[in-house]
């Protein structure tokens, strides 16, 4: 078998076989096939696409390119969730404790943030003492003991995806739905969960800018899951404005704790409860979404979910008292307000500009090895649809130094779109694919 023949076959628009896909993935990971040939095949895939069988074969070839996680020691149906990335999206810290409090184990591997989207591991590491990197044995033990554990991805989990993603980033082949779908699903499947719920973001602050593209990606991932016997459900949700009101690591943890303590409501609570409900449904805990929602709300309002987060933090070496006293978190004390420059109604808040503004302050990374400051960030004081008057505070910046400050201010001022007329609210959830 020759790589050049595989390239020519896909360039002509023909279906690749399972063996051909496995040959190319193995050869690339083993460094027997060079970057330039893989780049050529990726471009052919971008232009000609992959059918559902090819995408599933690619996904599983990537899964078995490295380590996989065996969760069979943990009783019950293990669930996982994944967001395609957004701004102010702290749902994992809310959803995972809710689901665990309802008796469904969650063994989750998460990543760090890059660019304008935040990473769950960075958020958790703003909690004093929290250790996101547990041994495999401790990961399993913590889930068995407490019902939940969130850890960083292991070094050899889906190495094919790491190599392909780096190559796609520099060869103009990122925007291919089959390649995106296989990248996401390979990591979720390798992480060992039986049931997977996906939060596919659509809008200004998301990777998928249109609702239609988000649904195409959602359908592709759900189809992959069904082909490899994983119960998979995808929700398409809005990212035309930040989901929560906090952007920045410690600030987002504080907001998540506020939701768990029933002090914070709004879209972030709504989406979190919906994701939790679908995870409970996917795990077979409930026969309907309505019943699952009742369980999730009860776990939240009775304080059981908050107790689960506290238990997980303690189990992973952190100060669980933060759940009762979020002031333990280190948050920058210097505050700068961004104010409305005219009267009107907020028609939208450009999520990507908000995320970039937080990144300029030091809350995010441009490159993977950049250091971040957990204490800095932004809180939103007015959301889309609200009336404002000149001088009203739109957002509050929590800053540590002058670097990036002026750029961040400009981004924030342009992120709030104010018009003379009120506009209809955009749906928070566009639909469900299952």
Q: Is position 422 annotated as part of the catalytic site? A: no
Q: Is position 230 annotated as part of the catalytic site? A: no
Q: Is position 183 annotated as part of the catalytic site? A: yes
- The H or E element that residue 148 is part of is strand 148-152
Tokens 């077979």 identify what position? 284
Do β-strands 148-152 and 106-110 pair in parallel, antiparallel, or remain unpaired? Answer: parallel
Catalytic residue among 168, 231, 254, 382: 168
Closest CA to 181 of 161, 154, 195: 161
Catalytic residue among 65, 110, 126, 183: 183
Q: Is position 72 annotated as part of the catalytic site? A: no
Query: Cα dist. 344→74, 170, 350, 387, 424 in Å?
Result: 54, 43, 17, 6, 14
Q: Is position 381 annotated as part of the catalytic site? A: no
Catalytic residue among 161, 199, 238, 373: 161
272, 103, 252, 386: CA torsion to nearest 10: 20
Q: Three-state SS string across the chain, please?
A: CCHHHHHHHHHCCCCCCHHHHHHHHHHHHCCCCCHHHHHHHHHHHHHHCCCHHHHHHHHHHHHCCCECCCCCCCCCCCEEEEECCCCCCCHHHHHHHHHHHCCCCEEEEECCCECCECCHHHHHCCCCCCCCCCCHHHHHHHHHHHCEEEEECCCCECHHHHHHHHHHHHHCCCCCHHHHHHHHHHHHHHCCCCEEEEEEEECCCCCECCHHHHHHHHHHHHHHHHHCCCEEEEEEEECCCCCCCEECHHHHHHHHHHHHCCCCCCHHHHHHHHHHHHHHHHCCCCCCHHHHHHHHHHHHHCCHHHHHHHHHHHHCCCCHHHHCCHHHCCCCCEEEEEECCCCEEEEEECHHHHHHHHHHHCCCCCCCCCCCCCCCEEEECCCCCCEECCCCEEEEEEECCCCCHHHHHHHHHHHEEEECCCCCCCCCEEEEEC
Catalytic residue among 10, 108, 162, 187: 187
Catalytic residue among 82, 123, 188, 230: 82
Residues recognised as catalytic: 82, 161, 168, 183, 187
């Amino acid at each position: 078998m020759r790589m050049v023949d595989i390239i020519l076959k896909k360039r002509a628009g023909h279906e690749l076989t399972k063996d051909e896909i496995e040959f190319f993935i193995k050869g690339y990971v083993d460094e027997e096939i060079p970057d330039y040939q893989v780049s050529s095949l990726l471009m052919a895939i971008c232009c000609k696409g992959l059918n559902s069988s090819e995408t599933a074969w690619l996904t599983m070839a990537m899964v078995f390119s490295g380590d996989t996680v065996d969760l069979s020691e943990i009783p019950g149906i293990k669930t996982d969730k994944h967001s395609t990335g957004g701004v102010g999206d702290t749902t994992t810290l809310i959803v995972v404790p809710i689901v665990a409090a309802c008796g469904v184990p969650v063994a989750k591997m998460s990543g760090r943030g890059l660019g304008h989207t935040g990473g769950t591991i960075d958020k958790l590491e703003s909690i004093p003492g929290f250790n996101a990197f547990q041994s495999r044995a401790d990961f399993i033990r913590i889930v068995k003991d407490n019902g939940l554990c969130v850890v960083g991805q292991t070094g050899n989990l889906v190495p094919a995806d790491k190599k392909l993603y780096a190559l796609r980033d520099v060869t103009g082949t990122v925007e291919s739905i089959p390649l995106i779908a296989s990248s996401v699903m390979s990591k979720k499947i390798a992480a060992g969960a039986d049931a997977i719920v996906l939060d596919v973001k659509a809008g200004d602050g998301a990777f998928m800018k249109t609702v239609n593209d988000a649904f195409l990606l959602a359908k592709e991932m759900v189809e992959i899951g069904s082909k490899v016997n994983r119960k998979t459900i995808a929700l398409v949700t809005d990212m035309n404005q930040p989901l929560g009101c906090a952007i920045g690591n410690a600030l987002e943890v504080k907001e998540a704790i506020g939701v768990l303590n029933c002090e914070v409501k709004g879209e972030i609570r709504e989406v979190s409860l919906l994701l939790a409900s679908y995870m409970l449904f996917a795990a077979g805990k409930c026969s309907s979404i309505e019943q699952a929602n009742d369980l999730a709300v009860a776990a939240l309002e009775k304080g059981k979910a908050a107790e689960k987060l506290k238990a997980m933090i303690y189990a992973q070496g952190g100060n669980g008292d933060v759940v009762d006293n979020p002031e333990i978190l280190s948050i920058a004390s210097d505050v700068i307000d961004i104010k409305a420059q005219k009267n009107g109604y907020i028609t939208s808040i450009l999520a990507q500009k908000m995320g970039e503004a937080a990144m300029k302050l030091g809350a995010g990374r441009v490159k993977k090895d950049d250091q971040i400051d957990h204490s800095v960030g932004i809180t939103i004081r007015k959301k889309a649809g609200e009336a404002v008057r000149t001088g009203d505070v739109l957002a509050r910046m929590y800053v540590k130094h002058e670097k990036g400050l002026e750029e961040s201010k400009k981004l924030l001022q342009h992120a709030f779109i104010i018009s003379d007329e009120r506009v209809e609210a955009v749906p928070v959830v566009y639909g469900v694919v299952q």
